[in-house]
Chain A
């Protein structure tokens, strides 16, 4: 599973990555992380606001930090 965090490296983006990593760890899923910081690459996704969470190239959330339960729900797919 490929998980991308889109964001300029701000506090919210780091918090989102941390939460997602925790959720991944608790579920025992095998996933690789990528923190996308280049504005051009971020803008290639249909989003206007960061931080955004992209799981297997599907934008799950943008402009907010979802709760860990919500993230876990997407991870279970």
Chain B
């Protein structure tokens, strides 16, 4: 019985610390950005670079861009993948798009950055970009003969409207809000004002929270502060207001819409406030971060007013749709990770993946391939592994393989490009994820960045050159 209780408590503690500390500051703005990308960026603005006549150096980066900007939603991934493959730039860029999308969309990146650290987010995007393009090019080389059969249809890729300036400014402000809330730089941490708010219940409240959610450094349980508890309550309130306020906004703004948005801004500002319980009250610190977050929230209002009402409604509706789709899964996932955590011995993880070896990286990849976790749940799982002593190298290998290779994505690929190509792709992703883990692990262990960068760059250059040569000989023969 004891073990069940402590498992449940561990699950709740993990949930509480995620909700209070990690999720809020990065995921709330990230959801709004994802909504804006989905509703306000005309897809044609990127798709026009993916036509059948586009040169390689345009189509591959454009495919990666489409992956991170347009594909926050599974609605878009499948038709875009099929479209690029069958009508446009072909197998190579389509594969790059498919590989890059789950690792580099705004939600995955910001969540990885906050939960695991900025260096993991940067490693994820750099490695996914170079290896995504690499895998795409290898696939294009291996299957070059079947390429000609595609139906080229340039009309679909006619230049449409670009991204308007007001959309860029709006997106930029949202990204600035995301960064202001999360980045650990000095001028954001600088203290502007501090003072004590007398409240005799503060110490008692904190003691109560400590008893419910005990701090345990050995297992990485972070406990729950008063501020964290207040944030969880605010999140609940946002959810209640947004259910109708944002969920039905496409029928027109209703009374709950401003309430939900106001609560969101309040939550972000409150989360950026420094707060700790003292013996006779609450000690509050107003930092540069608090001011920056508040200013950006205010700035968003006039910027949003420059759009048509319909566009703003679409933006909010999309945002809420993402929240509804991802958040419940994330909560269940984080809870289960907390439960499982107390059954896993650090020694197991350290024996299998404690050092940056080929085998350890392979283990990370295999675990990623056979376990299927819903979007973003791979991040708390990776954090658990990290705290249990997994080496960062195998961890990156796992982070690369898990979202790329789910059963779902393998089936979609197989249906569109055929079984042989799909399984070749799976094999390549497994291989490249291992390589990615080894590269990152070597960097963490102290290998000079220059050498590793040169190796990765050289590898991709080799692929580009051979693809170019093969295409030229083929044209010469034709």
- Check: A35 CB closer than 8 A to any chain B CB: no
**Contact (A49, B78) CB under 8 Å given A43-B87, A65-B314, A67-B310:** no
Residues of A within 8 A of B80 (CB): 48-49
- Check: B75 CB closer than 8 A to any chain A CB: yes
Contacts between the two chains (Cβ within 8 Å), count = 67
What is the bound-complex CA distance between A62 and B44, given in angstroms? 10
B415 touches A13 (CB 8 A): no
- For A, the interface residue count at a CB cutoff of 8 angstroms equals 21
Residues of B within 8 A of A51 (CB): 75
A47 touches B83 (CB 8 A): yes
- Check: B434 CB closer than 8 A to any chain A CB: no
B76 touches A50 (CB 8 A): yes
Specify the chain A residue showing the minimal Cβ separation from B78.
Answer: A8
**Contact (A63, B43) CB under 8 Å given A11-B321, A15-B250, A43-B83:** yes
Residues of B within 8 A of A46 (CB): 153, 155-156
B75 touches A43 (CB 8 A): no
Specify the chain B residue showing the minimal Cβ separation from A52.
Answer: B79
Most B CB within 10 A of own CB, among A7, A13, A48, A49: A48
B321 touches A48 (CB 8 A): no
A50 touches B75 (CB 8 A): yes
**Contact (A13, B87) CB under 8 Å given A43-B82, A47-B156, A65-B314:** no
Q: Which of B74, B87, B314, B415 contacts A10 (CB 8 A)?
A: B74
A interface, by DSSP: helix, strand, loop or mixed? loop
- Check: B65 CB closer than 8 A to any chain A CB: no
CB distance from A27 to the nearest CB of B (A): 18
Residues of A within 8 A of B310 (CB): 67
Q: Which of B39, B75, B88, B416 contacts A48 (CB 8 A)?
A: B88
Residues of B within 8 A of A47 (CB): 79, 83, 156
A48 touches B87 (CB 8 A): yes
- Check: B289 CB closer than 8 A to any chain A CB: no
What is the bound-complex CA distance between A51 and B470, given in angstroms? 37
In A59-77, the 8 Å CB interface with B consists of: 62-65, 67
Residues of B within 8 A of A64 (CB): 39, 42-43, 314
- Check: B426 CB closer than 8 A to any chain A CB: no
B44 touches A63 (CB 8 A): yes
What is the bound-complex CA distance between A20 and B207, given in angstroms? 56
What is the bound-complex CA distance between A46 and B47, given in angstroms? 12
Specify the chain B residue showing the minimal Cβ separation from A50.
Answer: B79
Specify the chain A residue showing the minimal Cβ separation from B160.
Answer: A63
**Contact (A39, B88) CB under 8 Å given A48-B80, A49-B76:** no
What is the bound-complex CA distance between A8 and B156, given in angstroms? 19
- Check: A24 CB closer than 8 A to any chain B CB: no
Task: Supply 14 further A-B pairs (C-beta < 8 A) apart from A48-B79, A49-B47.
Answer: A8-B79, A11-B75, A11-B325, A42-B82, A43-B86, A48-B47, A48-B88, A48-B157, A49-B76, A50-B75, A51-B75, A64-B42, A64-B43, A67-B310
Could you tell me which B residues sit within 8 Å of A by CB distance? Answer: 39, 42-44, 47, 50, 70, 73-76, 78-80, 82-84, 86-88, 153, 155-157, 250, 310, 314, 321, 325, 415-416
